[in-house]
Amino acid sequence: MIFFDVTKAGKSGHRSGLMRVSVRLEQELGTAATEVRWQDWNRTVARDDWFLTAELFSEEERPGFSEFIRTRPCHLAAIFHDAIPLRHPHITWPQSVARHPGYMKLLAGFDRVWAVSEASRRDLLEFWRWQGVAKLPPVEVLSLGADFNGMARVTARVVPTDAARLLCVGILEPRKNQAFLLQAGMALWDAGMDFELHFAGRVNPHFGPPILARLKELKRRYPGLHYHDAPDDAAMAALYANARASVFPTLAEGCGLPLLESLWMGVPCVCSDLPVLRENADGGGCLTVAPNDLAAWTETLRDVLTDEALAARLQNEATTRALPTWRETAETLAG
């Protein structure tokens, strides 16, 4: 029996990357798993049962969880996303910065850990070595699914020719680097280019309001600028259907699901040249650009918007390359 932890996912109303992992995994695990919430945990478990969590946790949020890990009444497995609060504390919620080291220490008490990328795997192992953890559980890389909405993959598409549209998906916050992308967009608009730049995502309540205010301010000057507040999966599918390319100028990721999800919809992606993103971008359908290099980003976006041969090549790669699915992710865990 797999007891699947939905302590946070069961009450969340948004679809962050972490919530996406929990929701899609539970859907694909189906009857192979039974959902549980820590506040209601009173299960009698067998030694060969598994407790599986894809969530972040702490003793403060889950009283008794440290003892549960120490005694291990059943097998424990976890999905590790990233060490971003440790690597980028200045752009991470202070609460997350304070609690993340404790969370990563607790992971060492699990029987198995899956990291969502090789980059995240290295970060976790390096943290444990730095902490002097003597006994390490096995840590393997888990490929996350690209099929975010459960729809069939787009393998052929006709991009509307009435307007050139770029789509940036992600929560409004400094890590996702929307403020930088706005600079690139302004440079292209000021040079006379006619295109639309769409931002889609909720607002980080701690860091996001200034970015949203900047979007609204620039919207008055640039009619091609658009913001979509926390669109659902159906609305996201419509945005992808009208996009020439997605744009992902992020500064740090655990995996980079927007890149995979864009490719699933048949939409090429221009993304930051980060090792974690190269793990998936190098498979085709993507262009990587040095983070925060304004000249390089402006030139690359101009090429994507105007070079029909380049756009056709990227779209062909996006619609034909191999992509992981959430069913495969669930099968890896259940196996």
Token pair for 58: 């702490």
% of the chain beyond a pLDDT of 90:
90
Q: How far, in Å, are 6, 54, 87, 128 from residue 97 at the CA level? A: 22, 19, 9, 17
Token pair for 201: 């995502």
What is the C-alpha to C-alpha distance for residues 187 and 298, in angstroms, rounded to an integer? 7
Residue 10: predicted pLDDT: 59
Residue 335: predicted pLDDT: 82
Q: 190 — phi, psi (to 5°)?
A: -65, -25
What is the C-alpha to C-alpha distance for residues 4 and 97, in angstroms, rounded to an integer? 26
Token pair for 128: 């444990």
Is the pLDDT reported for residue 46 higher than 70? yes
Domain boundaries, the chain: 2-142, 165-320
What is the C-alpha to C-alpha distance for residues 196 and 319, in angstroms, rounded to an integer? 23
What is the C-alpha to C-alpha distance for residues 231 and 239, in angstroms, rounded to an integer? 9
Looking at every residue in the chain, the average pLDDT score rounds to 95
Q: One-letter amino acid identity for 163?
A: A
Q: 40 — phi, psi (to 5°)?
A: -110, 10
Q: What is the pLDDT of residues 156-196, one digit of tens each?
A: 987 766 779 999 999 999 999 999 999 999 999 999 999 99
Q: Which residue, among 53, 74, 57, 72, has the nearest Cα to 4 in the 3D structure?
A: 53
Is the pLDDT reported for residue 13 higher than 70? no
Q: 94 — phi, psi (to 5°)?
A: -55, -35
So what CATH class is 165-320?
alpha beta
Record: fold of 2-142: Rossmann fold (3.40.50)
Query: Mean of the pLDDT values across residues 56-82?
Result: 96
Q: 51 — phi, psi (to 5°)?
A: -105, 120
Is the pLDDT reported for residue 30 higher than 60? yes
Residue 15: predicted pLDDT: 66
What is the C-alpha to C-alpha distance for residues 160 and 153, in angstroms, rounded to an integer? 19
Helix H or strand E segment including 44: none
% of the chain beyond a pLDDT of 70:
97
Q: Looking at the DSSP assignment, which residues form a beta bridge with residue 289?
A: 272
Token pair for 326: 């959430």
What is the C-alpha to C-alpha distance for residues 141 and 279, in angstroms, rounded to an integer? 11
Supply the Cα-derived Rg of the chain in whole angstroms.
21
Helix H or strand E segment including 334: helix 326-334
Residue 166: predicted pLDDT: 98
